[in-house]
Each structure stands twice: as C-alpha cells, then as structure tokens.
C-alpha cells in the first residue's frame, strides 16, 4: 500500500535562514541538495541581519515579513533564537520549555492542530507561525550516533543561550546524571538551571561560574561548547583546554570551521570528539521533515555535508 504524499511536499518551498553573519552557512545547500535528491521544488535563502541593517530585536518582525513575502518555513540561528519568539503565534512544547526557537513553520490554515499552545502575544491575521526547536532533537541524535556509549555521569555545558538551552535538555534526556552549566553571564546560567531543574529521576542541573570550568572538568566525564566561540568571526576556545585529558569526551556545536580550536585541542589531548557537523546535519534533517512532511535521508545528508565542507574549506 502506498502512502499519500504530504500536502507540504506537493508545493514549492521557499525557506529562509534568519541570523547574523549567515552568508557562509552551509544550511541552504544542505537543504537544497536533499530536496533535489527527492525531486522537490525547494529554494533556501539567507536573511542576514548584518546585510539587512537589522538587530536581533528585529527578528520577530522579520519572520512575519518573510511569511508575508511567501516564505513557507524559516530556520533561526544566533543571535535570534530567543528574540524571534515575539513574532510567533504558537510554540511547540520543546520550544516553550527551552525558551528558544530554531525552526518556524508557516501554515496558511490557522486551524492547523500544531502540537503547541497559542503564544502570549496572541494570534494574528494571515499565516500561522509556529516556533519549534530541532536543536534539541538534533543534538540528542548526534550524541547517540557520534559518541555512542560515552559516560554520562557529570557533564559541563558552556553556554546558556538558545543553543545551550536545547543542548542542556538533550543531555538530561540522554541520561546525564549531573549537568553543570556555565556562561559568561552568570544570571543566564542560573536561569537555565532553574528552568530545567524540575525534579528528574536520578539527575540534577546546577549553574557554575564560567571561570570554574577548567577545575570542574576534574570531576566531569564530558564537556560541550554551546557558545559561538570557535566559529568564523569568533576565534578562540570557550574555556582553558589545558584541563582536558584523554578520559574526557568533547562536543562542539560550531561547524564553521568543522575543526574548531576546541576540537583540535581535544583531539590533541586524546579525547573522543563530536564535531559540530553531527548536530548541524541532525537538526537540519528534522527541520527538513517539518518543512516538507517527508523523511530526510540522514546518511545522504551527512555525506552532502562533508562534501560541502570540503568544497568550501
């Protein structure tokens, strides 16, 4: 028996990427190559705040304008994953719990039963914009596939912004028993710990000072960078890597470049390493499925991603 194609799959897709300094993002080509392999009419365009002369606080209005101009879906990246919420009609359960959005679906039918409740700002005339979070599902899948069997006793998470929120929940859902969150803004780390700190069976989350990270690695099994440090335009490492030893595993969410300074330092120390490409592909596949209603071929997308990295680097 054949399955009827999704209504989303039968229409042309115009997808946007909202963020700062996104001109070099691999997401447009990654999505378009998977769409081409599936025979879809699919275009993906960056909407760069810097080029448009906008600030992160303009993200909410930008996502509304994009929908009016015919965009059928949008991805959202740094530094707009939280500010974009002001322009949305609804949030999925994950996005609401995390306070961060990286995927926006656009539905003309406002009665579409999305798995979310109306955003406090209320509904607006026209298309229904629903904020979702595939960073959470993407990192969880990446960790399971890219670092199978790593110990999850104590993990240090550096960065408590939009990506950090998603990674924190993914780590707890993956079975981390103790999650220590550090951020250059102590209040942001404390807020994340409080937001995700409801009682969980056998796990706890706590905020620690950013300068304590090297010392805290002495008791940790792994560490995750969920800050922009290491990406193009933000060189360096998010913490002093001299504390890394071969017993640690290290994960980075940055994928441009793929071999960040943190990844290089971790490999040199003998650590098991999860580069940012794993999460980039997994969250992109989840977003693609939300936009089109079709399953993505994740192995093919990973191959496309590695080809794109080789071509562009």
Q: From CA 77, how far away is CA 244, in angstroms rounded? A: 29
**Alpha-carbon distances, residue 66 vs 6, 7, 70, 147, 234 (angstroms):** 23, 21, 7, 37, 28
Task: Specify which of 93-102, 196-205, 288-297 reaches the highest per-range mean pLDDT.
Answer: 288-297
- Cβ-contact 47, 73 below 8 angstroms: no
What tens digit of pLDDT does each residue of 241-287 get? Answer: 999 999 999 999 999 899 999 999 999 999 999 999 999 999 999 99
* pLDDT tens-digit map of 115-154: 444 343 333 456 899 999 999 999 999 999 999 999 999 9
Beta bridge partners of 252: 225
Task: Using alpha carbons, select from 18, 102, 16, 103 the residue that is nearest to residue 57.
Answer: 18
Q: If phi over 0 gives left and psi between -120 and 50 gives alpha, with beta otherwise, what is residue 44? A: beta
Task: Please tell me the predicted confidence (pLDDT) of residue 107.
Answer: 93
Place of tokens 């960040």: 260
Q: Which CATH class is domain 136-274?
A: alpha beta
Give phi and psi for 14, each to the nearest 5.
-120, 110
| pLDDT score at 123 | 35
| DSSP H stretches of helix in the chain | 27-37, 49-52, 59-68, 93-98, 134-146, 162-174, 186-195, 213-216, 261-268, 276-292, 298-312
DSSP state of 132: E
Catalytically annotated residue among 81, 136, 302, 304:
81
> What's the CA gap between 187 and 313, in Å, rounded?
37
Q: Tens digits of per-residue pLDDT, 32-52?
A: 999 999 999 999 999 999 999
Domain 13-132+279-312 matches domain 136-274 at the CATH topology level: yes
106 pLDDT higher than 60? yes
pLDDT tops 50 at residue 1: no
Q: Report pTM.
A: 0.85
Query: Which residue has 């699919």 as its token pair?
Result: 42
Topology of the domain covering 13-132+279-312: Rossmann fold (3.40.50)
Tokens linked to 118: 């109306």
Q: How far apart are CA 100 and CA 85, in angstroms?
A: 8
The dihedral over CA atoms of 36, 309, 233, 226, expressed in degrees to the nearest 10, equals: 80
Residues 28, 25: Cα–Cα separation, whole Å: 7
What is the rounded average pLDDT of the residues 158-180?
94
- Domain ranges across the chain: 13-132+279-312, 136-274
Q: At 9, is the secondary structure helix, strand, or coil?
A: coil
Residue 216 has pLDDT above 70, yes or no: yes
- Alpha-carbon dihedral sign for residues 160, 163, 167, 169: positive
Distance of CA 77 to the CA centre of its chain: 7
Q: How far apart are CA 154 and CA 217, in angstroms?
A: 9
- The answer to whether residue 81 is catalytic is yes
The reported pLDDT for the residue numbered 64 is: 97
3-state secondary structure of 219: helix
Question: Angle at the Cα of 113 (from 80 to 286), degrees rounded to 5?
Answer: 50
Contact between residue 45 and residue 16 where contact means Cβ atoms under 8 Å apart: yes
């Amino acid at each position: 028996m054949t399955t009827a194609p999704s209504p989303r799959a039968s229409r042309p897709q115009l997808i946007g990427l909202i963020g700062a300094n996104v001109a070099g993002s691999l997401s447009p080509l990654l999505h378009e190559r998977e769409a081409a392999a599936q025979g879809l009419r699919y275009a993906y365009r960056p909407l760069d705040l810097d080029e448009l002369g906008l600030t992160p606080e303009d993200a909410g209005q930008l996502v509304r304008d994009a929908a009016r101009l015919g965009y059928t879906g949008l991805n959202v990246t740094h530094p707009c994953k939280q500010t974009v919420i002001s322009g949305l009609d609804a949030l999925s359960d994950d996005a609401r719990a995390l306070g961060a959005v990286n995927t926006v679906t656009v539905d003309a039918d406002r009665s579409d039963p999305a798995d979310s409740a109306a955003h406090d700002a209320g509904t607006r005339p026209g298309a229904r914009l629903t904020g979702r979070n595939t960073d959470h599902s993407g990192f969880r899948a990446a960790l399971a596939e890219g670092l199978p069997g790593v110990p999850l006793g104590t993990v240090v998470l550096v960065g408590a912004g939009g990506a950090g929120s998603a990674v924190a929940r993914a780590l707890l859902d993956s079975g981390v028993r103790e999650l220590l969150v550090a951020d250059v803004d102590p209040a942001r780390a404390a807020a994340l710990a409080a937001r995700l700190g409801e009682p969980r069976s056998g796990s706890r989350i706590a905020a620690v000072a950013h300068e304590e990270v090297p010392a805290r690695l002495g008791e940790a099994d792994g560490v995750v960078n969920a800050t922009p440090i290491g990406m193009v335009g933000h060189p360096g490492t998010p913490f002093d890597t001299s504390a890394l030893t071969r017993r640690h595993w290290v994960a980075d969410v940055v994928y441009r470049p793929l071999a960040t300074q943190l990844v290089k330092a971790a490999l040199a120390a003998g650590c098991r390493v999860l580069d940012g490409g794993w999460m980039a592909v997994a969250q992109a596949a989840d977003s693609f499925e939300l936009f089109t209603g079709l399953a993505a071929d994740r192995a093919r997308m990973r191959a496309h991603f590695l080809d794109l990295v080789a071509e562009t680097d």
